[in-house]
C-alpha cells in the first residue's frame, strides 16, 4: 500500500507558488470587460478558456487578436503557440497584426497525447520573467493514440481481407482529457503566467434524439469543467460593400465565467481585412447606434457630440473645470500645462481651449464641436490616439454605469454583528 501511495504522489501535480498574476488584453475594450469580470483587463493568466461558435463567427480573429495584443503589451517577454490542429489557418498575420501567428516550421499536434506533451514543453520552456498563450484550434481535429492504433489495425485487417470488429474507443480521448490532461496542466499554467485557449466549432449532434441538444462542441464535460471562461460567438449581422461581405457584427456572450459578472454579452465589429474593430465597436456602444436584438445600425448615425445634454456622451461643460476634466479624461493635462508654461500662459479657459483646438482638434470637436457622422468619427479616432483613448474610457465608464444600475447595493454582514 505504501508503494502505491508513493507512486500516486509522484504523479500528483505539485502546486507551485504563483507569480504575480498578469492579464492578456483581447483587442476589444468591451471583450476585456466581458472576460475580465469588469476590471477592463482581459483574460487573467493561469487559466483555461474556451471560445466557440459556428463557422464564420470570428473565433480565429479573436484568438489572433489576443496574441497580437499580448505581443504589443509584453514585447519579447511574451511567447505563444497557435496549434493549428485543423490545418486550416490561412491568415497573413504580418499584414493584419504585425506578427507571424504561425511560423513556417510549426508542427501542429495530431493527438491529444501529443498536444499534452506540446503544451507542457511550451510552458516549461518559458523563463521566470516570461508569459505565454497557447491556442488550440481545435480539439475536434485531434485523435488519440488508442484511436490511431485502432485505425492501423483496421487497415491491416482490410489488407488481409478480414473483418475488423473490436468495437469503438470513441470515449478514450475524453477520458484522457478529464483524468490527465486538464488536471495536470492547471497548476503549471498558473506557475508560468500563461493562458490556454481552446477554439471549438459548433457541429450538428446526430445522436441528440428528440430532447437532446441539436448542436454540440468538442471537449465534452471535461473542457467545460476546467475552463474558467467560456465565450460563445454568434454572427448577428454581415457587413456588405459593393455586394461583397467585408465583415460581421459578432455577439460575444459569456456562457461561463468565474467572476461576479457572468452571462454578460457585447456586440463586436470584425472586418476581414482589419480584425476586431475596437473603434467602431466603442462608438456604436457609447452612442447606442446599434440594436441589441439584431446587431444592425440604426437610421440615425449623426452624433451630436457638442450637445451637453446628450446622455449618450455626457459632455463636459465649456468652462475651466469642464475643459480640465476633458484633458484629464484624454490623458492630456500634463502636456497642455507644459505648453502653457513654455509660452507663459496661465492655466485658464482660453489657454486650454487654444491648446486643444491647435494640437487636438478632434478631441475639442468631440466635446464641443458640431454634429459628426459615425464614419467621420471613426476616421478621427483612426488618426488620433487621444480620441481612441477617449472612446475606450467612455465605453468602460458606460459599462460600469450599467453594472452599477443593476447592482443589489446590499452587503452581507455589513454591521459585523452576530446573526445567531
Which long-range CB contacts under 8 A does 157-161 form with residues at least 24 apart?
A: none
**Residue 314 in domain:** yes
Residue 390: the pLDDT is 85
Instruction: Among 260, 276, 292, give the residue marking a domain's end.
Output: 276
Rounded Cα distance, 189 and 100, in Å: 23
Residue 381, C-alpha cell as written in the block? 479616432
Query: How do residues 100-111 score in pLDDT, each as one tens digit?
Result: 999 988 899 988
- Beta bridge mates, 82: 135
CA-based nearest residue to 62, from 250, 243, 238: 250
Query: How do residues 28-86 score in pLDDT, each as one tens digit?
Result: 999 999 998 877 789 999 999 999 998 888 999 999 999 999 999 999 999 999 999 98
Residue 184: the pLDDT is 82
User: How many other β-carbons are positioned within 10 Å of the β-carbon of residue 349?
Assistant: 15
Residue 239 belongs to domain with CATH number? 3.40.50.300
Label each residue of the chain as H, E or C: CHHHHHHHHHHCCCCCCCCCCCEECCCCHHHHHHHCCCCCCCEECCEEEEEEECCCCCHHHHHHHHHHHHHHHHHHHEEEEEECCCCCCCCCHHHHHCCCCCCCCCCCCCEHHHHHHHHHHHHHCCCCCCEEEEEEECHHHCECHHHHHHHHHHHHHHHCCCCCCCCCCCCHHHHHHHHHHHHHHHHHHHHCCEEEEEEEECEECCCCCCCCCCEECCCHHHHHHHCCEEEEEEEEEEEEECCEEEEEEEEEEEEEECCCCCCCEEEEEEECCCEECHHHHHHHHHCCCECCCCCCECCCCEECCCCCCCCCCCCCCCCHHHHHHHHHHHCCHHHHHHHHHHCCCCCCHHHHHHHHHHHCHHHHHHHHCCCEEHHHHHHHHHHCHHHHHHHHHHHHHHHHHHHHHHCCCCCCCCCCCCCC
Residue 312: the pLDDT is 41
Residue 37: the pLDDT is 83
With b meaning 16 or more CB within 10 Å and e meaning fewer, what string describes 82-106? Answer: bbbbbeebebebeebbeeebbeeee
Query: How do residues 290-324 score in pLDDT, each as one tens digit?
Result: 887 777 887 667 776 554 444 444 456 678 888 88
Residue 336: the pLDDT is 94
**Residue 269 in domain:** yes
The number of C-alpha atoms within 13 Å of 264 and in the hemisphere containing its C-beta is 22
Rounded Cα distance, 95 and 93, in Å: 5
Residue 311: the pLDDT is 42
Mean pLDDT for 340-364 is 89
Residue 292: the pLDDT is 79
Q: Are residues 91 and 228 in the same domain?
A: yes
Domain count, the chain: 2
Q: Are residues 266 and 306 in the same domain?
A: no
Say what the pTM is. 0.77
**Residue 83 in domain:** yes
Q: Are residues 73 and 220 in the same domain?
A: yes
**Residue 297 in domain:** no
Mean pLDDT for 256-268 is 92
Q: Are residues 190 and 321 in the same domain?
A: no
Residue 172: the pLDDT is 58
Q: Are residues 330 and 253 in the same domain?
A: no
Residue 218: the pLDDT is 64
Residue 4: the pLDDT is 44
Residue 5: the pLDDT is 44
**Residue 10 in domain:** no
Q: Are residues 347 and 214 in the same domain?
A: no
The mean-pLDDT minimum among 248-257, 331-340, 363-372, 386-395 falls in 363-372
Instruction: Among 233, 261, 276, give the residue marking a domain's end.
Output: 276
**Residue 103 in domain:** yes
- Comparing 93 with 322, the larger pLDDT belongs to 93
Q: Are residues 222 and 340 in the same domain?
A: no
* Domain boundaries, position 185: 17-276
Whether the predicted pLDDT of 87 surpasses 80: yes
Query: How do residues 124-142 score in pLDDT, each as one tens digit?
Result: 999 999 999 999 998 877 7
Whether the predicted pLDDT of 385 surpasses 70: yes
Q: Are residues 25 and 161 in the same domain?
A: yes
Residue 363: the pLDDT is 79
Measured in whole angstroms, the distance separating CA 235 from the mean position of its chain's CA atoms is: 16
Residue 173: the pLDDT is 60
Rounded Cα distance, 389 and 392, in Å: 5
Q: Are residues 314 and 267 in the same domain?
A: no
Give, rounded to a whole angstrom, the gap between the first and last alpha carbons of the chain: 46
**Residue 49 in domain:** yes
**Residue 350 in domain:** yes
Residue 317: the pLDDT is 65
Strands 229-241 and 215-216 turn out to be: unpaired
Q: Are residues 218 and 91 in the same domain?
A: yes
Query: How do residues 218-241 score in pLDDT, each as one tens digit?
Result: 656 778 888 999 999 999 999 999
Question: What proportion of the chain, given as a percentage, has pLDDT over 70?
Answer: 77
Average pLDDT over the chain reads: 82
Kindly list the distances between the CA atom of residue 319 and the CA atoms of 242, 247, 324, 347, 352, in Å, as whole numbers in the listed order.
46, 42, 8, 12, 10
Amino acid at each position: 500500500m505504501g508503494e502505491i501511495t508513493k507512486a500516486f504522489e509522484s504523479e500528483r501535480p505539485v502546486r507551485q507558488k504563483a507569480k504575480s498574476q498578469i492579464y492578456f488584453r483581447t483587442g476589444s475594450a468591451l471583450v476585456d470587460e466581458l472576460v475580465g469580470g469588469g476590471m477592463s483587463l482581459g483574460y487573467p493568466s493561469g487559466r483555461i478558456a474556451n471560445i466557440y461558435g459556428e463557422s464564420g463567427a470570428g473565433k480565429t480573429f479573436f484568438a489572433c487578436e489576443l496574441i497580437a495584443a499580448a505581443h504589443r503589451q509584453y514585447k519579447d517577454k511574451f511567447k505563444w503557440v497557435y496549434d493549428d490542429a485543423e490545418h486550416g489557418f490561412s491568415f497573413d498575420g504580418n499584414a493584419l497584426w504585425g506578427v507571424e501567428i504561425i511560423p513556417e516550421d510549426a508542427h501542429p499536434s495530431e493527438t491529444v497525447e501529443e498536444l499534452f506533451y506540446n503544451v507542457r514543453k511550451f510552458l516549461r520552456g518559458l523563463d521566470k520573467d516570461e508569459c505565454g498563450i497557447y491556442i488550440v484550434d481545435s480539439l475536434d481535429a485531434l485523435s488519440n493514440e488508442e484511436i490511431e492504433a485502432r485505425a492501423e489495425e483496421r487497415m491491416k485487417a482490410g489488407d488481409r481481407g478480414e473483418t475488423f470488429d473490436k468495437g469503438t474507443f470513441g470515449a478514450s480521448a475524453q477520458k484522457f482529457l478529464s483524468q490527465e490532461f486538464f488536471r495536470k496542466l492547471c497548476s503549471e499554467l498558473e506557475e508560468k503566467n500563461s493562458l490556454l485557449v481552446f477554439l471549438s466549432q459548433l457541429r450538428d449532434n446526430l445522436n441528440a434524439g428528440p430532447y437532446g441538444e441539436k448542436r454540440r462542441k468538442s471537449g465534452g464535460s471535461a473542457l467545460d469543467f476546467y475552463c474558467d471562461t467560456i465565450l460563445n460567438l454568434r454572427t448577428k449581422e454581415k457587413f456588405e460593400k459593393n455586394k461583397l461581405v467585408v465583415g460581421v457584427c459578432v455577439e460575444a456572450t459569456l456562457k461561463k465565467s468565474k467572476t461576479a459578472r457572468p452571462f454578460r454579452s457585447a456586440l463586436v465589429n470584425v472586418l476581414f481585412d482589419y480584425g476586431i474593430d475596437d473603434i467602431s465597436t466603442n462608438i456604436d456602444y457609447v452612442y447606442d447606434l446599434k440594436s441589441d436584438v439584431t446587431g444592425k445600425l440604426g437610421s440615425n448615425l449623426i452624433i451630436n457630440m457638442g450637445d451637453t445634454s446628450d446622455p449618450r456622451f455626457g459632455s463636459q461643460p465649456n468652462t475651466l473645470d469642464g475643459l480640465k476634466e476633458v484633458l484629464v479624461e484624454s490623458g492630456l493635462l500634463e502636456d497642455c500645462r507644459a505648453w502653457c508654461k513654455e509660452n507663459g500662459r496661465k492655466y485658464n479657459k482660453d489657454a486650454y481651449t487654444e491648446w486643444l483646438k491647435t494640437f487636438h482638434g478632434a478631441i475639442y470637436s468631440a466635446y464641443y464641436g458640431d454634429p459628426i457622422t459615425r464614419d467621420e468619427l471613426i476616421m478621427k479616432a483612426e488618426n488620433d490616439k487621444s480620441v481612441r483613448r477617449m472612446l475606450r474610457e467612455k465605453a468602460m465608464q458606460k459599462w460600469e454605469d450599467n453594472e452599477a444600475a443593476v447592482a443589489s447595493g446590499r452587503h452581507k454582514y455589513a454591521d459585523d454583528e452576530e446573526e445567531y
